[in-house]
């Protein structure tokens, strides 16, 4: 499951890893180059909401995942073809198609995670997914340049052909992701058969208007997500110059310290995920993360202390937040709305990021880094105060310790099991009415006759009897 997102994260940052090459080969300036990212992110403000909705309503999670993976593949191929044919507009189109798949795939991944791991190691799984994503982009950053120079040696020419071939090679990761999606779908089907659970047949179907009925806690979670991501990512995006000018770092050091947040989050988020799984109390953890981030923001803004301290703190806080925050959605949303809820969360996160990235740029242009940091700190403060407090009140079992949560879950699980049994039985009853194979007909006939049937032929297992192989 974790590899599902690998391809899309790997290819998402392809342009950044090959920026000089792309700009040189395609002969475009930086602004035009940045359009490659804009084409990815702007449509996603809306698209991944619909992506999530489609997963819930139309495709189901398995087909949804497969379809979105296919989109990712096709997008990357178009992107590479654009480079091969030296057509920049084709590259932009490729990024757009890639974007249709990319973010929705992330939504699908989250939904999968919840449907498989809810009540078990959900936080850990989210942590693992995050670290996989980070590894994806890190590998990309380091590998793509190498591949490019190899291809260049092989073809003995520079130019757009080399770029196209390199991107095609990058596209292999997308195929890999697609294969993962297929395997997942197979596994999910099997699991469903074995565990006798079925999706989408609960009778409740999500409508788009359900969005307005999302609970207050869910909205608060959304707002936290937006506020936090908005305060951390734009800063990282704009941070390099800050470290060079304020702390007199060299260009290389500045890049290194700027990426430390991601590097830390790769190993830390599974660890924290495990911790949060064991201890529960998600809200407390989120609060911790927010306070830590606030501290590091203040440190960066008001002191000349070594920024490595602040940035490492921020990395730790970020990984803690990511693996404590995302799984919270699963606790406050009914299962059939999960895809939509995650889609919506991703949508407004994208929207927030897109708007704040512009706003942060403007603030920086007119008022500088100090003001920016103060602004972000204020964001954090209000988030901590105004939002987390009501959330801990209204959030119900969000902040339970894992032991309490387990108890509740056992209760719920027992109830669900009962219902499930009932449902299974009903189905069996229904099955009795359906035309049956000769084996079961013979059984019924025998039992009517009053002949003794082996004990394991008990009524509850009758549906299993439909599969002859089980008997052998």
Residue 157 or 250: which CB sits closer to another protein? 250
> What is the distance between the alpha carbons of residues 377 and 293, in angstroms, rounded to a whole number?
8
> What is the distance between the alpha carbons of residues 86 and 99, in angstroms, rounded to a whole number?
21
Are the C-beta atoms of residues 428 and 457 closer than 8 Å to each other?
Answer: no
Are the C-beta atoms of residues 206 and 59 closer than 8 Å to each other?
Answer: no
Total number of residues that touch another protein (CB under 8 A): 28
Q: Which of 251, 394, 437, 447 binds another protein (CB under 8 A)?
A: 251
**Contact region with another protein (CB under 8 A), list: 97-105, 275-283, 294-302, 333-341:** 294-302
> What is the distance between the alpha carbons of residues 350 and 318, in angstroms, rounded to a whole number?
17
Q: Which of 154, 183, 241, 358 binds another protein (CB under 8 A)?
A: 241
374 counts as binding another protein under rule CB under 8 A: yes
Q: Which of 365, 449, 451, 470 binds another protein (CB under 8 A)?
A: 365
Torsion sign over Cα 319, 321, 324, 328: negative
Are the C-beta atoms of residues 4 and 179 closer than 8 Å to each other?
Answer: no
Q: Which of 20, 142, 306, 385 binds another protein (CB under 8 A)?
A: 385
Q: Which of 16, 74, 87, 298 binds another protein (CB under 8 A)?
A: 298
Residue 35 or 364: which CB sits closer to another protein? 364
Write out the two tokens for 10.
């790997």
Q: Which of 191, 205, 370, 453 binds another protein (CB under 8 A)?
A: 370
What DSSP state is assigned to residue 159?
A: S
Torsion sign over Cα 138, 141, 145, 151: positive
Q: Return the SS3 of 466.
A: coil
**Contact region with another protein (CB under 8 A), list: 79-87, 156-164, 330-338, 374-382:** 374-382
Write out the two tokens for 206.
């999500």
> What is the distance between the alpha carbons of residues 280 and 402, in angstroms, rounded to a whole number?
4
Residue 32 or 215: which CB sits closer to another protein? 32
Residue 231 CB contacts under 8 Å (≥ 6 apart), including other chains: 293, 297, 376, 379, 380
Write down the least CB distance from residue 290 to another protein, Å.
12
State CA 17 to chain mean position distance. Answer: 22
Q: Return the SS3 of 401.
A: strand
Q: Which of 246, 396, 423, 425 binds another protein (CB under 8 A)?
A: 246
Residue 191 or 370: which CB sits closer to another protein? 370
Q: How far is CA 208 from CA 106, 214, 332, in A?
A: 20, 11, 18
> What is the distance between the alpha carbons of residues 288 and 33, in angstroms, rounded to a whole number?
38
Write down the least CB distance from residue 88 to another protein, Å.
20
Q: Which of 71, 233, 242, 318 binds another protein (CB under 8 A)?
A: 242
Write out the two tokens for 246.
């304020």
20 counts as binding another protein under rule CB under 8 A: no
Residue 346 or 392: which CB sits closer to another protein? 392
Q: Which of 6, 96, 229, 375 binds another protein (CB under 8 A)?
A: 375
Q: Which of 20, 157, 202, 303 binds another protein (CB under 8 A)?
A: 303
**Contact region with another protein (CB under 8 A), list: 6-14, 72-80, 365-373, 410-418:** 365-373
Write down the least CB distance from residue 366 to another protein, Å.
7
Q: Which of 190, 197, 367, 444 binds another protein (CB under 8 A)?
A: 367
Q: Which residues bind to another protein, rule: CB under 8 A? A: 240-242, 244-246, 251, 298, 301-304, 364-371, 374-375, 377-378, 381-382, 384-385
């Amino acid at each position: 499951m974790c590899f599902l997102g690998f391809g899309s994260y790997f290819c998402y940052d392809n342009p950044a890893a090959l920026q000089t090459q792309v700009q040189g080969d395609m002969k475009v300036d930086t602004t035009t180059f940045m359009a490659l990212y804009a084409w990815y992110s702007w449509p996603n403000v809306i698209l991944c909401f619909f992506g999530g909705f489609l997963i819930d309503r139309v495709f189901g999670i398995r087909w949804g995942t497969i379809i979105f993976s296919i989109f990712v593949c096709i997008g990357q191929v178009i992107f590479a073809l654009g480079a091969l044919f030296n057509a920049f507009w084709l590259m932009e189109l490729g990024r757009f198609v890639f974007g249709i798949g990319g973010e929705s795939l992330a939504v699908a991944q989250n939904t999968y995670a919840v449907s498989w791991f809810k009540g078990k190691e959900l936080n850990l799984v989210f942590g693992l997914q995050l670290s996989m994503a980070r590894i994806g982009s890190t590998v990309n950053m380091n590998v793509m340049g190498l591949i490019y120079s190899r291809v260049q040696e092989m073809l003995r020419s520079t130019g757009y052909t080399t770029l196209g071939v390199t991107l095609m090679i990058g596209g292999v990761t997308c195929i890999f992701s697609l294969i993962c999606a297929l395997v997942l779908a197979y596994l999910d089907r099997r699991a469903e058969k074995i565990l006798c659970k079925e999706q989408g047949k609960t009778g409740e179907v999500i409508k788009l208007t359900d969005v307005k009925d999302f609970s207050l806690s869910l909205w608060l979670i959304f707002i936290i997500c937006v506020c936090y991501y908005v305060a951390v990512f734009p800063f990282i995006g704009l941070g390099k110059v800050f470290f060079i000018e304020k702390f007199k770092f060299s260009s290389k050091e500045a890049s290194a310290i700027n990426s430390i947040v991601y590097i830390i989050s790769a190993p830390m988020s599974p660890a924290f995920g495990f911790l949060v799984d064991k201890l529960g109390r998600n809200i407390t953890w989120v609060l911790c993360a927010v306070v830590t981030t606030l501290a590091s923001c203040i440190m960066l803004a008001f002191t000349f202390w070594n920024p490595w301290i602040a940035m490492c703190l921020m990395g730790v806080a970020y990984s803690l937040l990511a693996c404590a925050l995302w799984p919270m959605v699963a606790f406050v949303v009914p299962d059939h709305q999960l895809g939509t809820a995650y889609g919506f969360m991703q949508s407004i996160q994208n929207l927030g990021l897109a708007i704040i990235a512009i706003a942060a740029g403007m603030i920086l242009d007119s008022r500088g880094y100090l003001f920016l940091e103060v602004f972000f700190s204020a964001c954090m403060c209000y988030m901590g105060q105004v939002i987390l407090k009501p959330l801990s009140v209204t959030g119900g079992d969000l902040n339970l310790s894992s032991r309490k949560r387990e108890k509740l879950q056992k209760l719920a699980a027992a109830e669900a099991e009962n219902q499930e049994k009932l449902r299974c039985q009903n189905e069996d009853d229904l099955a009795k009415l359906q035309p049956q194979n000769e084996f079961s007909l013979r059984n019924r006939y025998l039992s009517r006759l009053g002949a003794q049937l082996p004990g394991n032929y008990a009524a509850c297992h009758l549906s299993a009897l439909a599969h002859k192989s089980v008997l052998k």
